[in-house]
Structure 1
Amino acid sequence: MNKTFKIYAVVFIIIMVILALFEVNKKETTDWRKNFDVNEKSPFGLFVFSEEANELFGNDLKKIDETPYDYYHEHKKEGHNILIIERTVDSESWKSILNQVNAGSDAMLIVSEMPKEISDSIGFYDSQLSFEDQNVLKLTDKAYQNDFIKLDKFPSGKGFTYIKPGVEVLGKTVEKNNSDQANFIKTRFGKGNIYVHSEPLFLTNYYLLKKGNTRYAEDVLSYLKNRETVWFVESTTGGQSRFFMRFIFSNPALKYAWWVFLGGMLLFIFFNAKRKQRIVPVIEPLKNTSVDFIRSIGNLYLQEGDFHDMMGKKAQYFLNKVRMDLLIDTQHLDEEFIKKLQLKTGKPLEMIQEAVELIKKGQDPYAAVMREDLVKMNALLDKILKS
């Protein structure tokens, strides 16, 4: 490890420690984003509603993470309720919903931004009608006059400016300085009904956890018949990344540390590469004549016919390789040596024993050695050293 790398490593560690200290001492902040996520416990998530929805709909609720088009393409349904809370509805999905409503189902859309195609087919225009910091939502039905809800945190102020004849107003936004504005309507479509509410905030955690606010939510949803309800939630595959770094990116502290780490690595690579990227002169490598030399020596031995000496040198070379590469003591070619060599090479024990006998024969100055012995030992030793 060179000195430059050590300096970069120390600097990086110091930065990470400082960031960790800042993160530990950082005060927890509240996420006020209007995410409308069924898994979020932040103020404007739908976690509380999602947990209580089954009981609210009489345990006859299905949460579907597909688009309405995909779902109804695969499932043929009788009359039922359709619930959509602040999620995008494409044109093909809207056609599928209209087909279900036309056949006798009821659809309730609780959304702040309504696509023009949908609003035109129902018969209204939605727009920003209020810029007040506080709104009061009430229903027009006298039976629900006492069940209102006060929005004191970031109300959208959405409502309906134009409603075609035949559309019934079920709820309004009440303000001190402005006239009442419709925010909840109903229209007949075929054999079913379509309900549209322009303020989904009343279903979020922040408002449902306030005392008395659940009554308003119950009143709004009570317009749906007591039957199976299909709630189209945001798709988990579309709303949640499948990226393997998803957990790190979902945690602000880990995400911050990750980007700092990548930045440090890029700086290190940049400066290190810049220092090393120099023109390397082309040097003609020296010719390796070792093979030619060995071939000449081998031919000389073959011409002389000194197989005993060749066996001794081959054995010496093999034992040297065993000492250097396998770290086995070759002073005593006994059973212990054979066992260690067999364990490290993985070759059959009989092959090792036969090779050791030939090595001993090559080292014995009085042994009678034939050409066949040299050839056999050479083949065995090459097999043993071959990985």
Structure 2
Amino acid sequence: MKKTFKIYAVIFIVVMVILALLEVNKKETVSWRKNFNINEKSPFGLFVFNNEAKHLFKNNLKRTEETPYDYYSKRKKDPHNIIVIEKDLDNQSWKKILEQVSNGSDAMILISNTPKDISDSIGYHSSDISFAEENMLKLTDKQYQNDFIKLDKFPSGRGFSYIKPQVEVLGKTVEKDNSDQANFIKTKFGKGTIYVHSEPLFLTNYYLLKPGSLKYAQDIFSYLKDRETIWFVENDTKVSRFFMRFILSNPALKYAWWVFLGGLVLFIFFNAKRKQRIVPVLEPLRNTSVDFVKSIGNLYLQEGNFHDMMAKKAQYFLNKIRMDLLIDTRNLDAEFANKLHLKTGKPIEMIDEAIALIKKGQDPYASVMKEDLVRMNKLLDEILI
């Protein structure tokens, strides 16, 4: 094994160990993402509310990760309470919720933005009502007028820009430089009641852990009746932040990863024993026959002995005819020309012209020009093709 290969293997192992140690010892950074996850302990998770919910609803709370559409399609329920906290729902699920409310259930919807067709059917329009960095949430009921919560971290500024006459305002957003805007409403829908709050941020860990903030949350949910409550939560599986979480979470990729590492170790182990020197490349001996022929040809051209070159070309041609075509070349007569014509398929006129030039080259007293040599060479090459 070469020394450089050993160095690369050691570097690879060291890097993998360092990455593993860094991942194990990595300090958690504060995430201010509004995730509303019941298992998240980050500022805008719902870990604290999830733990307090069993006391808030007197152990009569049921959580489900199913969508309202799937949940109510499988079972029939007596009138109950419904809670939705910043959850993405399709229109079919919203319609299922409205159907349950119409039959006598009450729904507490804490969400910053609902589909327009749903909000229109309930009786309000939602929009951005504030762009301030801080605001205060208050309730309009006199018995709760001393309970409020101050939002000083990334409030959404959502509220209700239009409310139909039959909708009752239960809470508002209060700011120094702006007029009060509704953020918590109530409306009758069939036999039940719908409560909508446009700022669910007050339920997150950051705000519930502040002194006095829990009382505001208790006031909000006090509007619900004391009965079974269904909370539609997001998938509560905590997402790993490990840099290989995608590979390790997929069984096929996980096994492929371990096979890759095992194969790499085996490769290093066996390669260390079986690595051999590179076999040197030996250049084959060069065929110099063509170069020799070119040199001889150039010599004849320089001497200008075209007659001798025609004689040698004729001799080579006739020998080729005897060996390859098995034609007797002692008499270059009409019979010879006809046999050559039949075996090569070349025109008889071309063959007759070639025979005449061959005879001229064989005649030691004939006068030969360069043009005769070129013409004969061309004819004989075409006949042998």
| Amino acid paired to 1:188 | K
- Residue in structure 2 matched with residue 156 of structure 1 by the alignment: 156
SS at match of 1:196: strand
| Amino acid paired to 2:8 | Y
What are the within-5 Å matches in structure 2 for residues 93-242 of structure 1?
93-236=93-236, 240=237
- Residue in structure 1 matched with residue 51 of structure 2 by the alignment: 51
- Residue in structure 1 matched with residue 72 of structure 2 by the alignment: 72
- Residue in structure 2 matched with residue 33 of structure 1 by the alignment: 33
Q: In the alignment, is the contact (CA less than 8 A) between 1:125 and 1:160 conserved in 2?
A: yes
TM-score by length of 1: 0.60
TM-score by length of 2: 0.61
- Identity fraction in percent: 68
What are the within-5 Å matches in structure 2 for residues 239-278 of structure 1?
240=237, 250-252=240-242
| Amino acid paired to 2:203 | L
Runs of 5+ in structure 2 lacking a partner? 249-256, 268-385
Structure 2: distance between partners of 1:256 and 1:65: 22
Alpha-carbon shift at residue 10 of structure 1 (Å): 2.0
| Amino acid paired to 1:94 | W
Q: In the alignment, is the contact (CA less than 8 A) between 2:23 and 2:242 conserved in 1?
A: no
SS at match of 2:89: coil
Q: 1:27 to 1:234 in 2, by over 3 A?
A: closer
Alpha-carbon shift at residue 3 of structure 1 (Å): 5.1
Structure 2: distance between partners of 1:148 and 1:172: 10
Q: In the alignment, is the contact (CA less than 8 A) between 2:112 and 2:200 conserved in 1?
A: yes
SS at match of 1:127: strand
1:328-356 deviations in Å (ceiling 9; x for gaps): xxxxxxxxxxxxxxxxxxxxxxxxxxxxx
Structure 1: distance between partners of 2:230 and 2:245: 36
SS at match of 2:119: helix
Structure 2: distance between partners of 1:256 and 1:90: 27
Q: 1:256 to 1:81 in 2, by over 3 A?
A: closer
Alpha-carbon shift at residue 93 of structure 1 (Å): 1.0
Alpha-carbon shift at residue 211 of structure 1 (Å): 1.1
Alpha-carbon shift at residue 106 of structure 1 (Å): 0.5
Structure 1: distance between partners of 2:81 and 2:53: 13
Q: 1:87 to 1:13 in 2, by over 3 A?
A: same
Structure 2: distance between partners of 1:23 and 1:95: 45
1:43-76 deviations in Å (ceiling 9; x for gaps): 1111111111111011111111111111111111
Q: In the alignment, is the contact (CA less than 8 A) between 1:167 and 1:185 conserved in 2?
A: yes
- Residue in structure 2 matched with residue 337 of structure 1 by the alignment: none
Runs of 5+ in structure 1 lacking a partner? 241-246, 273-387
RMSD: 3.0
Q: In the alignment, is the contact (CA less than 8 A) between 1:106 and 1:192 conserved in 2?
A: yes
Alpha-carbon shift at residue 94 of structure 1 (Å): 1.1
| Amino acid paired to 1:75 | R
| Amino acid paired to 1:215 | K
Q: 1:83 to 1:49 in 2, by over 3 A?
A: same
Structure 1: distance between partners of 2:50 and 2:79: 23
| Amino acid paired to 1:209 | L
Alpha-carbon shift at residue 7 of structure 1 (Å): 3.2
SS at match of 1:72: helix
Larger Rg: 2
Q: In the alignment, is the contact (CA less than 8 A) between 1:16 and 1:257 conserved in 2?
A: no
Structure 2: distance between partners of 1:9 and 1:180: 67
Alpha-carbon shift at residue 257 of structure 1 (Å): 12
Q: 1:44 to 1:142 in 2, by over 3 A?
A: same
Structure 1: distance between partners of 2:187 and 2:97: 14
SS at match of 1:225: coil
Structure 2: distance between partners of 1:58 and 1:120: 33
Alpha-carbon shift at residue 256 of structure 1 (Å): 11
Q: In the alignment, is the contact (CA less than 8 A) between 1:185 and 1:197 conserved in 2?
A: yes
- Residue in structure 1 matched with residue 371 of structure 2 by the alignment: none
Alpha-carbon shift at residue 13 of structure 1 (Å): 3.0
Residues paired across the two proteins, number: 256
SS at match of 2:161: strand
| Amino acid paired to 2:29 | T
| Amino acid paired to 2:30 | T
Residue 13 (structure 1) aligned with residue 13 (structure 2): yes
| Amino acid paired to 2:36 | F
